[in-house]
Structure 1
């Protein structure tokens, strides 16, 4: 995450909370973006369980329709993006006030795919991008309210697969952490990177946790990335309360993959 009180990861978190506040769903300050599991909304990925992280692509559900393989336009991505009602209990809105991607660069070239994803701009560069904020409305007013940012991208010339492959390589190469610079808020220090069990959705998927600090406290940031055809869905959440790994409702992954043509 970040050292100090500023940085790209926190900017994205603040944007997610701002969007939720616009809908009247959150009443606290940006410290309430905790990325906690949506209780009762859906089964969640539990990194603390017995499942071992796998470097192999997760097998999608048997009933998931195959991809058309097309590179979607921004309008098509917006139509295919998750919406309120797709997953019970979760409210989805376009991200407000934070769609400009970050500009921080990793000090280690091998860690750049992780920095790019945290910036909100997966590499290789997308042909189109839409952002969504997802909140659990049943947790309104709670400091543990689930807030998830989705970054949905489309890629040309087969580069969607390269997004996940580069991330796999970066997770392995950057286990001891890395630092980013150039975001205008000073250096952001990430002390650890570890792989998590991949979502069972899409044609390929990976999940990881990047850990850093805010005001000296450990802050885990979790990224789940699912590819279907030429589209990539990234689900991002963070825990600003304690060092426990935050969870993302697993139904989000399958539902988003199902909506992509």
Structure 2
């Protein structure tokens, strides 16, 4: 890995979702039982009665209230994500349209067709541990940060969003090219994986990302539908990102706490 371009590497590995301040710090330290598709997702959900009103999408303001907030999950810090998440889908592009929902989901953006979406970041709070000060700089960056996105849909839009993600996992198994905030990334492999998240539908997957020709990094994502709301989770470990390898699974505590807030 070329240390002089470490910030670029971190940016592309994280699907363009990290702020320049975090990226610079990251790059400058050289030392440094349920299927992924639940039974509900295996087949199309039962059609609602013709007399039942169509689901209405929540507004952004309503979704903001459903995002995890600081103090609601012990051992984690919650941030608005304004400085770390892409502002819109227009800055996250792939070379295969079928892969767009995957790229959007990993950047806390709505994987389906809706304007009602919000996102934040949930990171381990090492200051809450018994040893508030890390023993070295490498330990300070050994932190899991999860990008969390919520999106809401009218009618059957949430089910369609989940299908788009599921179809994308299959269509993009051989990888795809990604451009985010001007940086190019090569995802070399996409694979379905298991996740025990409790929702109406669950699709979880891993992505192997080329680390600028210096090995690969494996990232984990989970997309969960609860009613007409879709929650996306994508985890990055800063220390692991500097040397490649597995970023680690999305923390179950983060998924459980966020889903508990959804109606």
Conservation of the 8 A alpha-carbon contact between 1:203 and 1:228? yes
1:112-131 mapped onto 2 (5 Å cutoff): 112-131=100-119
Q: 1:257 to 1:119 in 2, by over 3 A?
A: closer
2:173, 2:21 → 1: CA distance? 27
Q: Which residue of 2 aligns with 1:199?
A: 196
- Aligned-pair CA distance for 1:8: 8.0
1:62-211 mapped onto 2 (5 Å cutoff): 70-97=56-83, 98-102=85-89, 103-138=91-126, 141=134, 142-181=140-179, 183=180, 185=182, 187-211=184-208
- Aligned-pair CA distance for 1:255: 2.0
Q: Which residue of 1 aligns with 2:216?
A: 218
Matching residue within 34, 42, 55 for 2:37: 55
Which structure has the highest helix share of the two? 2
Q: Which residue of 1 aligns with 2:49?
A: none
- Aligned-pair CA distance for 1:31: 4.6
**Matched positions, count:** 223
Question: How large is the RMSD of aligned CA atoms in angstroms?
Answer: 3.1
User: Relative contact order, CA 8 A, sep 6+: which one is greater?
Assistant: 1
Q: 1:15 to 1:121 in 2, by over 3 A?
A: farther
Conservation of the 8 A alpha-carbon contact between 2:169 and 2:192? yes
Conservation of the 8 A alpha-carbon contact between 2:13 and 2:209? no
User: What TM-score comes out, normalization by structure 2 length?
Assistant: 0.72
Moved over 6 A (4+): none
Q: Which residue of 2 aligns with 1:244?
A: 246
Q: 1:158 to 1:127 in 2, by over 3 A?
A: farther
Q: Which runs of 5+ in 2 are unaligned?
A: 1-5, 42-53, 135-139
1:203, 1:74 → 2: CA distance? 22
